[in-house]
Homo-oligomer: A and B are copies of this chain.
Amino acid sequence: MAVTIKDIAKLANVSITTVSRVINNKTEGVSEETRNRILQLVKELGYQPNAIARGLVTKKTKTVGLIIPDISNPFFPDIARGVEDSAHIYGYNVFLCNTDDNLEKESEYINALKEKYVDGIIFTSSAPSNYEHIMELIKSGVPVIMMDRRIESEDIYGVFIDNYEGGYLATKHLIDLGHRKIACITGPLNVRNARERLAGYKKGLLENGLEVDEELIFEGDYKINSGIVGTEKLLNNNKDITAIFACNDLMAYGAYKTIRSYGYKIPDDISIVGFDDIQLSQILEPQLTTIRQPAYDMGLTAARMLIKLIEGKKLNKKIVTFKPQLIIRQSTGTVKEEKNYS
């Protein structure tokens, strides 16, 4: 068996309390001499504190849970990295949980994490409206930071992005370039951020004297394929579209594919704006113009907030909303005259 506090105590001829004190850097109550003696032993024997035993008495495990839909979705690794980096700095480890937007799995993980006494949870829930399990979790006393996807409740902590503003920015950019027939491929509209991005799109249109044409709106699901299918539909029904706002980058990639297969050029024939700015959007040809979400920073912030909460510190704000940023690259351009007047 591994060496314990008891072994050290015996060898140092002190009580386990004393050993515990020096292990935990309790400043007072131990003479320099005994402290050194113990530290020496600790090193010699390669003593490692048993976090499980410690957790049993302190009720703190220095462990947090990160519940997300899917780490293979390119939007999440950066978030996860931010969370983990931040956690690591403060001495926490993070449990990774993938729910596939499945409510049952969400509940399963919540239970598992509670049983393992995580100190807190960062949660990107798919729960569109049905978030009792989350409220219950919060009520049970576990600190929770909601992340990226907002639930309607007011009584939560969270890190989000201003999706409305993002949708607006994207649309405005397109309008500024002269586009008038601007289609929108939305996310799944039961998810709040999808509705917000769409609302931003509509605002952009309206504000510039353009009408919202439902024919130009296609409800996707944030996956590549719906970008492909959506663009096909849109293009087939509306020959005069000059621009598409895809509500995430993945669907923008799908749009690329369809547009190419139709023999159109980006941005000469059709401009595209995405949303997220995942790493590969800069690699694509042409590089994707998109609305950047600072995923890494959001992860960093969420973890920092969570740990403050855990450690009983005050938070200035319960909700941090990041500003989205328009990143202009090569997939958007001015409207070609011929098309404009055709």
Interface of A toward B, CB cutoff 8 Å: 48-53, 55-56, 61-63, 66, 70-72, 74, 76-78, 80-81, 84-85, 88, 91, 93-98, 111-117, 224, 253, 256-257, 260, 279-280, 283-285, 296
Contacts and interface: CB of A to CB of B under 8 A. Distances in A.
A288 to B, nearest CB: 11
Contacts of A77: 71-72, 74, 76-77
B72 A81 contact: yes
Contacts of A93: 95, 97, 112-113, 116
* Total copies of the chain: 2
Contact of A283 (B76, B78, B94, B224): B224
Contacts of A55: 52
19 contacts: A48-B114, A49-B115, A50-B56, A50-B117, A51-B115, A52-B56, A52-B61, A61-B116, A63-B116, A72-B80, A72-B296, A84-B97, A84-B98, A93-B113, A94-B96, A95-B95, A95-B96, A96-B96, A253-B280
Contacts of A74: 74, 77, 279-280
A98 B115 contact: no
A141 B84 CA distance: 26
Given A48-B111, A95-B95, 9 more contacts: A52-B55, A63-B116, A71-B81, A72-B77, A72-B81, A74-B77, A74-B280, A85-B98, A94-B95
A283 B284 contact: yes
A29 B62 CA distance: 38
- Of A76, A96, A279, most buried by chain B (CB within 10 Å of CB) is A96
Contact of A72 (B97, B253, B279): B279
B283 A253 contact: yes
Nearest to A55: B52
Given A116-B63, A284-B284, A71 B84 contact: yes
A78 B257 CA distance: 23
Contacts of A96: 66, 80, 84, 94-96
A81 B72 CA distance: 7
Contacts of A72: 77-78, 80-81, 279, 296
Given A116-B51, A283-B257, A81 B98 contact: yes
- Of A49, A50, A114, A256, most buried by chain B (CB within 10 Å of CB) is A50
Given A77-B71, A283-B253, A50 B115 contact: yes
A72 B279 CA distance: 9
A41 to B, nearest CB: 18
A284 B72 CA distance: 18
Given A279-B74, A280-B280, A283-B257, A51 B117 contact: yes
Contacts of A257: 283
